[in-house]
Structure 1
Amino acid sequence: MATYKDEKRGTWYCKFYYMDWTGTRRQKLKRGFKLQREAKEWERLFLEQFAKNPDITFEALYEKYKEYIKPRIRESTAQSRFYMLDRHVLPFFHARIVSDITPADVAAWQTDILSKGLSNAYIHSANTYLKAIFTYAVDYLGLSKNPCMKTIGSTKSRKLNFWTPEEYAKFSEAAADNPEYFIIFEILYYTGMRVGELLALTLNDIDFKNNQIDINKTFYRLTGQDVINPPKTPNSERIVDIPEFLTEEIKDYTKKLYKPDPEYRLFHKQIQYIRSAFKTRIKRAGVKEIRVHDLRHSHASLLINLGANPVLVAERLGHESPSITMNTYAHLFPKAQLDIVRKIEKAEY
């Protein structure tokens, strides 16, 4: 394995020759590895993948990419990514020879997907995943250049939708007819946790003495199976303080359960049933329609209006950093900006 130390940058790189699918001897150079073993592993993977794959169809490339990416991303993420690619990318390119696909071909695909009436964020993701497939081909299969370099769609998410405390109070009253759904919505609104995190909760995660909930796992349904995994990110594993009234509500709910197993899921619901119950009670309450996930935004709005700073909001929501919180909720912090302006005006020089 031909690996070398870049003394100037303090990193490692690999440099070697290989034979491409046309029989031409070519040189490959890849920089920027922190460790020598990482450079060696990259060279090994390149030669192994390239040796087994001369020029191939897009469909064959896609199958190789799936094998490569599956161990590197969450199972639920892989499922949603492959669904998008299967539906909107593979049918367009499937029989094309990868080295024959040009930027013009990619532009034709982009025009096609832009005509389907999909959201900007969805289109942006599909384009990003297509680019990743070609990047894999460049890195490991000897493709000379990535033909997917132009971005389409937008990373800007839809306008945030949330309830005021008054709107939630109306909804909560309408949701009181069903004890299980009532407590589900109460927890979501007063903690800001994700629905998957709520559905993974057990009695052992509730500290009734200290009014706290330990969020340490997430639940989702994958190919008909219930799956419990660690939270979305390392910072998503957190302990949140809850108001005493919510502790009492959870306690009252658990008293109605028949011999609950403290290590078993507290709520045996699927997300589609929660969404359906949510919509029904929104209509009953006569409040504006939002998504279940928007209860998380409603909690953030509640915290900000109560004077919480971005660091505290980030900790409760399980964001990786306060910058994510500010990027998402910056427009909800007008009071903080006004306070700073007033301090500037009063400052003495």
Structure 2
Amino acid sequence: MPAYKDEKTNTWYCKFYYTDWQGQKRQKLKRGFKLQREAKEWERLFLEQFAKSPDITFDALYSKYLKFKENRVRASTLKIQRVVIESHILPFFRDKIVSEITPADIVEWQNELLNKNLSASHTRQINIYLKMIFKYAIDYLGLSQSPVKSQICKSEKSKVDFWTPDEYKVFSDYIQDRIELYTAFEILFYTGMRKGELLALTLNDIDFDQKTIDINKTLVYVNGEYTTQPPKTPKSRRTIEVPEFLLNEIQTYSEKIYGLNPGHRLFHKSLEWLGISLKNICSRIDLKPIRIHDLRHPYVKPTTKKFTTFFEDFRAAA
């Protein structure tokens, strides 16, 4: 991997051949490097991007993996993966040659990860992301086998917390004068909607005659801005029944929004708004805090009783 000195400009350049994605032999010339090692490093990194071999660095493998995933998963999903991989995987493996990474290296990395005292579910997910990268190397770069041989830890039993009707009433009574926040939490509590689904909600999604809400999108934060996208899975798209009292509350709230377009979001807030509000209010009124997601799990679930009738009774119990 030689580099050459340009005597006229007193800089270095690299000149080499490579095979492109169509199998064609091509020449590459890059000038303007101040140091010889910079020219050699640029050539090495360039060739790694075109290499179809596991004899590349993990950093180069990760770059290939990202390009592979870009058009195959949602941008929001890939963003989550990138944050996790670049925080917990890339620092350890970055400069290692992929074909030389051993199960012993994996165990060493796993031990470091376990010492971070992350939750078991998060730790297992990080390990899964590493397995996905090596699977890509097996499928597309000719790696013979994955060095990830075992699970990193046992899964922990998930704990679902909830509020009783009395506890929710304490919370809702406290925020009743804040109509935007009150309406948002009423919808969350009595429909089982996810927060992203709530924050993407428009009047066009609500059928006041049929007493239903169509869940057809969710709010996400991608590349520095909020946008809506279809639910993650087909099952997440659904139509839910809504009790009469909740429809009345939504109608009252919407009428107070000046110039509301039926296609505009009812709650023009960030994804953090609900969680921060819940935490702050619980600390003020000495109420047991729960996660926003736990509002989807009331202490009882409807069985044979009609859904809307169940929640009419549920509300009356408070």
Task: State if a TM-score over 0.5 links the two structures.
Answer: yes
Distance in 1, matches of 2:261 and 2:271, equals: 22
Contact 2:124 2:153 in 1 (8 A): yes
What amino acid maps onto 1:263 in structure 2? Answer: G
Runs of 4+ in structure 1 off by over 2 angstroms are 49-54, 153-158, 283-287, 306-309
Q: How far apart are 1:157 and its partner, in Å?
A: 5.4
User: Matched residue of 1:268: which SS?
Assistant: coil
TM-score, L = length of structure 1: 0.71
1:188-267 equivalence runs, <5 A: 188-267=188-267
Contact 1:50 1:141 in 2 (8 A): no
Distance in 2, matches of 1:154 and 1:243, equals: 41
What amino acid maps onto 1:173 in structure 2? Answer: D
Q: How far apart are 1:156 and its partner, in Å?
A: 3.9
User: Matched residue of 1:63: which SS?
Assistant: helix
Aligned to 1:56: 56
Aligned to 2:139: 139
2:145 is aligned with 1:149? no
When residues 279 and 177 of structure 1 are mapped into structure 2, their CA distance, relative to the original with a 3 A threshold, is farther
1:45-124 equivalence runs, <5 A: 52-53=52-53, 55-124=55-124
What amino acid maps onto 1:139 in structure 2? Answer: D
Structure with the bigger percentage of helix: 1
When residues 210 and 263 of structure 1 are mapped into structure 2, their CA distance, relative to the original with a 3 A threshold, is same
Distance in 1, matches of 2:130 and 2:222, equals: 23
Aligned to 2:303: 307
User: Matched residue of 2:272: which SS?
Assistant: helix
User: Matched residue of 1:84: which SS?
Assistant: helix
Contact 1:161 1:294 in 2 (8 A): yes
Q: How far apart are 1:294 and its partner, in Å?
A: 1.1
Q: Point out the more displaced range, 176-185 or 154-163.
A: 154-163
Q: How far apart are 1:198 and its partner, in Å?
A: 0.5
Bigger Rg, structure 1 or 2: 2
Distance in 1, matches of 2:54 and 2:207, equals: 59
Contact 1:183 1:253 in 2 (8 A): yes
Distance in 2, matches of 1:157 and 1:280, equals: 28
Distance in 2, matches of 1:137 and 1:198, equals: 39
Distance in 2, matches of 1:273 and 1:112, equals: 34
What amino acid maps onto 1:81 in structure 2? Answer: Q
Q: Which runs of 5+ in 2 are unaligned?
A: 1-48, 308-318
Q: How far apart are 1:308 and its partner, in Å?
A: 4.8
When residues 87 and 273 of structure 1 are mapped into structure 2, their CA distance, relative to the original with a 3 A threshold, is same
Q: Which runs of 5+ in 1 are unaligned?
A: 1-48, 313-349
TM-score, L = length of structure 2: 0.77
Contact 2:54 2:98 in 1 (8 A): no
Q: How far apart are 1:209 and its partner, in Å?
A: 1.6
Note the alpha carbon deviations across 1:125-144, whole angstroms, 9 max, x for none: 01011011111111111111
Distance in 1, matches of 2:80 and 2:155, equals: 17
Q: Point out the more displaced range, 248-257 or 271-280.
A: 271-280
Q: How far apart are 1:284 and its partner, in Å?
A: 3.6
Q: How far apart are 1:215 and its partner, in Å?
A: 0.6
Distance in 2, matches of 1:60 and 1:139, equals: 16
User: Matched residue of 1:72: which SS?
Assistant: coil
2:172 is aligned with 1:172? yes
Q: How many residues align?
A: 258
Distance in 2, matches of 1:155 and 1:68, equals: 29
